[in-house]
Structure 1
Amino acid sequence: MRIFDPHIHMTSRTTDDYGRMAAEGVRAVVEPAFWLGQPRTNAGSFADYFASLVGWEPFRAAQFGIRHHAAIALNPKEANDPRCREALELVPRYLAKDSVVAVGEIGYDAMTPEEDDVFAAQLAMAIEYELPALVHTPHRDKIRGVARTLEVVTNSTIEPGRVVVDHLNEVTVGAVHDSGCWMGFSVYPDTKMSPERMVEILRVHGLERVLVNSAADWGRSDPLLTRRTGEAMLAAGFSDDDVDRVLWHNPVEFFGQSGRLDLTELPAASSTFEGNSILRGGS
């Protein structure tokens, strides 16, 4: 089973996680910019964070044969913090980087006027840089949040097929399916979506325009729930080709629209990045 995790926050994970993922078939990932938990106190901290997403994390992933790509954005939660709003001016610099394959995460957290402005501005950047957009839907009042998201996407004039609306569930998937946007699902141990529920959604709505991810942030999460979803599909009667479609071909199709996706075999990994190694205590 080969796996492309289209939304995973590896900044929150250990090198042991990279090793487990590689052993279970993960060959490529996309890491979107997100809220790290601790509020940032100034926009300048985003420059170092964005740089790590296009530098240090690809280096760590390469040690295990995993291709790492990034999505860059000012995330919805921090769009409300006036200390962070200037980071919006940094985003275009990183959208030009070769390993950046989308604008994201953008969208809504609390559906404030500030989030409206930042969401629209970054959809415009996606159009300008000819990149897909990865959209976060709010954890609260999700039905209204998805409806508002689709309205903003429509008003932006971006092609729906270049947008994935993420963190969906049984009550929100239908509207996104009908919109022509891609449908994203984050599979978690206790919340959002489970492998078994994901299988039922695939039965009802089909395999097209579906992205299954583990998100795997700093909370209770599991970077191997993409694999577990594939296993649940097989147990439910889906074919190997169906699993490959959902866990590999679909993310390749979506992020391939960036023109920057690199899935060639990795060369031998270098031992250091900027003079630093992930080895501890080795020779």
Structure 2
Amino acid sequence: MRIFDPHIHMTSRTTDDYAAMSAAGVRALVEPSFWLGQPRTSVGSFVDYFDALIGWEPFRAAQFGIRHHCALALNPKEANDPRLREVLDLLPRYLEKDQVVAIGEIGYDSMTAEEDEALAAQLALAVEHHLPVLVHTPHRDKAAGTRRTLDVVRESGIDPALVVLDHLNEVTVAMVRDSGCWAGFSVYPDTKMDEPRMAAILAEYGLTGMLVNSAADWGNSDPLKTRKVGDTMLLAGFTEADVEQLLWENPVAFYGQSGRLDLSEPAVDATGLHEGNSVLRGGAPAPGAVR
């Protein structure tokens, strides 16, 4: 099974996770910007974070045979902090980097006026830079938040084919499908979406325009959920070609719109260094990275 995880926060994960993902079939991923669990207090902290997403994490992933791409943004939760508004001025120079294949996560957390402003500004950046957009739908009052998000997307003038609304469920999938945007689903151990529900949604709505991810942040999550969705699909009667479409072809099609995807297999080099730092130890390839 060949897997492209279109939304996973590897900054929160260990090298054991990378090894397990490689062994499960993950060959590529996109890591979107997100809230780190504790408020950042200055724009400088975003500079360091963005630099890690275009430098250190791609290096770390490559040691396990995985291509790492990223999406950059001022996330919805921190859009409410006036100390961080300058992040919007910082973004344009990062959006020119080869590893950046989208803008995200943007969207709503509490649906405030500040979040409105940040969402509209970053959709405008996406139009200017010809990049896809990964949109976070709020965890509270999801239906209303999704409808409001779709209104702002329409007002921005961006092509809906360049937009994925994520964290969807049975209540919101139809309105997103009708909008022409991509529909994204985060599969978690206890919340959001699980594998049997995901298979049922796919059986009802089909595979076109659908993205499934593990998100896998610092909370209770599982970086192998994409693989587990694929296994559940096969048990439910989907074909191997169906699984390939959902877990590889669809994310390649969506993020390929950036013109920046590199899906070549990275060389695993146990002696490699990034800024003087190594990931592997003892001069041996990482477990699970040799295929």
2: distance between equivalents of 1:5 and 1:126?
21
SS at match of 1:183: strand
Partner of 1:253: 253
Structure 2 distance, partners of 1:16, 1:94, is 29
Alignment of structure 1 residues 51-130 onto 2, 5 Å: 51-130=51-130
1:203 maps to 203
Q: Which amino acid aligns with 2:87?
A: A
Counterpart CA distance in 2 for 1:279 and 1:227 is 25
Measured after TM superposition, the shift of residue 89 of structure 1 is 1.1
Counterpart CA distance in 2 for 1:164 and 1:49 is 23
Q: Confirm whether residue 31 of structure 1 aligns to residue 31 of structure 2.
A: yes
Q: Give 1:280 shift.
A: 5.2
Aligned counterparts of 1:281 and 1:25: Cα–Cα separation in 2 = 25
Query: SS of the residue aligned with 1:90?
Result: helix
* Post-superposition offset of 1:90: 1.0
State how far apart, in whole Å, the 1-side matches of 2:108 and 2:125 are.
Answer: 17
- What are the within-5 Å matches in structure 2 for residues 1-283 of structure 1? 1-269=1-269, 271-279=272-280
Q: Distance in 2 between matches of 1:205 and 1:108?
A: 25
Superposed structure 1 runs of 4+ greater than 2 Å apart: 267-270, 279-283
Identity across matched positions, percent? 70
C-alpha distance in 2 between matches for 1:192 and 1:9: 16
Instruction: Mark the runs of 5 or more structure 1 residues left unpaired by the alignment.
Output: none
State the 1:84 CA deviation. Answer: 1.3
SS of the residue aligned with 1:76?
A: coil
Offset at 1:30?
Answer: 0.1
Q: What do the CA deviations read for 1:85-130 (whole angstroms, capped 9, x no partner)?
A: 1111111111110010000000000000000000000000001110
TM-score (norm 1): 0.98
Contact 2:33 2:72 in 1 (8 A): yes
Higher relative contact order (CA 8 A, sep 6+): 2
What SS does the corresponding residue of 1:140 show, helix, strand or coil? coil
Instruction: Tell me the SS of whatever aligns to 2:189.
Output: coil
* Alpha-carbon shift at residue 265 of structure 1 (Å): 2.0
C-alpha contact (below 8 Å) 2:212/2:246 kept by paired residues:
yes
Report SS of the residue matched to 2:220. Answer: coil
Distance 2:122 2:280 in 1: 38
Kindly report the root-mean-square deviation, in angstroms, between the aligned alpha carbons of the 2 structures. Answer: 1.1
Instruction: Name the CA distance, whole Å, in 2 between partners of 1:101 and 1:279.
Output: 27
Report the Cα distance in structure 1 between the residues aligned to 2:245 and 2:211, rounded to whole angstroms.
10
Kindly provide the amino acid, as one letter, of the partner of residue 101 in structure 2. V
SS of the equivalent of 2:36 reads: coil
TM-score (norm 2): 0.95
**Distance in structure 2 (CA, Å) of the matches to 1:139 and 1:96:** 31
CA offsets per residue over residues 219-259 of structure 1, 9 Å max, x none? 00000000000000000000000000000000000000000
- Using the alignment, how far apart are the partners of 1:70 and 1:164 within structure 2? 15
- Give the whole-Å Cα distance in 2 for the aligned partners of 1:216 and 1:267: 25
Deviation at 1:279, TM superposition (A): 3.5
